[in-house]
Amino acid sequence: MNEGGMDKKTIRPTWRPSLVPSSEWTIEHLRKYLVGRSFTLYSHGTCVVWIGPSEPGVIETNQRVRAVTQESPDFKVQRHVDGNYLVTFKGGVGGLMSGELLTAHLASLRQEAQTLGRLPSERLLADRHDDAEELDMIAGLYVRAQLYRDADELVVTATVQR
């Protein structure tokens, strides 16, 4: 393993967060945040929002998940009023971080995000962030680590239609 918690041959974070909300919790909250949108959910919480009226095939959703990991996946974090974080990537791919889970395990999640969650070219400037920015960064790195797990395993757990 090289600096930043990366496996040299795969160029991806080695972080494998063990704290994962249930599929039921994830589906319930994604339905609230993605009002009227259908999506496919993977085993570690990655979701692919459907583009168009019909369900995409597994091959298409798998390709969309893998495509995000072919580059350094930038993410956008949206904090919701209930304290949870919706993290999105390009291509309609995203995931959730439970605000309750983040608060309850902040010290360990912060340490894991900073040591195992970054890519080789990334520099985390946590000491320059305010508390809200640091929480966004941890949530984003957490969801991204789960995205890489889902890209490796590609296990669909649910398809949710409007």
CA dist 13 → 67, 73, 99, 122, 135 (Å): 16, 11, 22, 11, 19
Residue 107 and residue 71: Cα distance in Å, rounded?
29
Confidence of residue 4 (pLDDT cuts 50, 70, 90): very low
DSSP code at position 56: P
Q: What is the pTM of this model?
A: 0.87
Quote the pLDDT of residue 5: 44
Q: Give the type of residue at 127.
A: D
| pLDDT > 70? residue 7 | no
Quote the pLDDT of residue 127: 47
Confidence of residue 2 (pLDDT cuts 50, 70, 90): very low
Radius of gyration of the chain (CA): 15
Q: pLDDT, tens digit, for every residue of 73-123?
A: 789 999 999 999 999 999 999 999 999 999 999 999 999 998 888 876 666
Residue 104 and residue 110: Cα distance in Å, rounded?
12
Higher per-residue confidence, 1 vs 159: 159
Could you tell me the residue ranges of all domains in the chain? Answer: 23-160
Q: pLDDT, tens digit, for every residue of 37-65?
A: 999 999 999 999 998 878 888 999 999 99
Residue corresponding to tokens 């995203």: 94
Q: What is the mean pLDDT of the chain?
A: 87
Quote the pLDDT of residue 55: 84
Q: How far is CA 13 from the centre of its chain?
A: 12
